[in-house]
Chains A and B, each alone.
Chain A
Amino acid sequence: GENVEQHPSTLSVQEGDSAVIKCTYSDSASNYFPWYKQELGKRPQLIIDIRSNVGEKKDQRIAVTLNKTAKHFSLHITETQPEDSAVYFCAASLQGGSEKLVFGKGTKLTVNP
């Protein structure tokens, strides 16, 4: 079955710096890759997603890149702010099937003021 590996497990940056989180997936048929942000005790919230027909997508300070050949995708956050501190999860799914999400184990991002 699908497996998603996520690195690093923790990431600490200074306010204003960039943060990069990387994920790899095992099932080459996966074609949809969302990223969720989860603050302590709260629901996972979708922050950005990308489909396999696109190599890069950007939304203000957040961008995601996808390399289908290497089966990896990355989240880039620029100009980090303390409110970006949270756990970030990558996920993969197969659109057109069950579309169940297979999640990575998460990255705890801390942005220091």
Chain B
Amino acid sequence: DTGVSQNPRHKITKRGQNVTFRCDPISEHNRLYWYRQTLGQGPEFLTYFQNEAQLEKSRLLSDRFSAERPKGSFSTLEIQRTEQGDSAMYLCASSYEVDRGSQPQHFGDGTRLSIL
């Protein structure tokens, strides 16, 4: 098991372009989370999936953002019409939910997005 994997590690794009990131969670983990982290701040929750169902979205997730986890395994996060304020590190985490409590969340290395 290699842990949570995210691709690409870095993405540089021009304002207005669309970008897509991928996250591969730890294989047996049924929960997958997306967070965003800006410089000098802690990660902020964006959305999470239980298997393939997206169960919660933060107010931070505008309608330009969409996330999917079609088969309950890997997930993609797409940002349309990127803006300068979207520049951040996008982190993915996964965990295994059992009954009324999960195992800890394990993070990937993130995708650093830079908007020119």
Contacts and interface: CB of A to CB of B under 8 A. Distances in A.
Contacts of B55: 98
Q: Which of B43, B55, B91 lies at the interface centre, i.e. has the most chain A CB atoms within 10 A of its CB?
A: B43
B82 interface: no
Contacts of B90: none
A73 to B, nearest CB: 15
B45 interface: yes
Interface string A3-22: 01010000000000000000
A89 B105 CA distance: 14
B102 interface: yes
Contact of A34 (B45, B97, B104, B108): B104
Contact of A96 (B43, B100, B109): B100
B45 to A, nearest CB: 4
A6 B11 CA distance: 31
A40 to B, nearest CB: 11
Nearest to A108: B40
A99 B42 CA distance: 16
B74 interface: no
A95 interface: yes
Interface string A72-113: 000000000000000001010001101111111110000000
A26 B56 CA distance: 20
Contact of A103 (B4, B44, B97): B44
Contacts of B56: 98, 100
Given A95-B101, A96-B101, A104 B42 contact: yes
Interface string B21-40: 00000000001010100001
B15 interface: no
A80 to B, nearest CB: 22
B110 A89 contact: no
13 contacts: A43-B107, A43-B108, A43-B109, A44-B43, A44-B91, A46-B106, A95-B102, A98-B48, A98-B55, A99-B31, A99-B48, A99-B102, A103-B42
Interface of B: 4, 31, 33, 35, 40-45, 48, 55-56, 91, 93, 95, 97, 100-102, 104-110
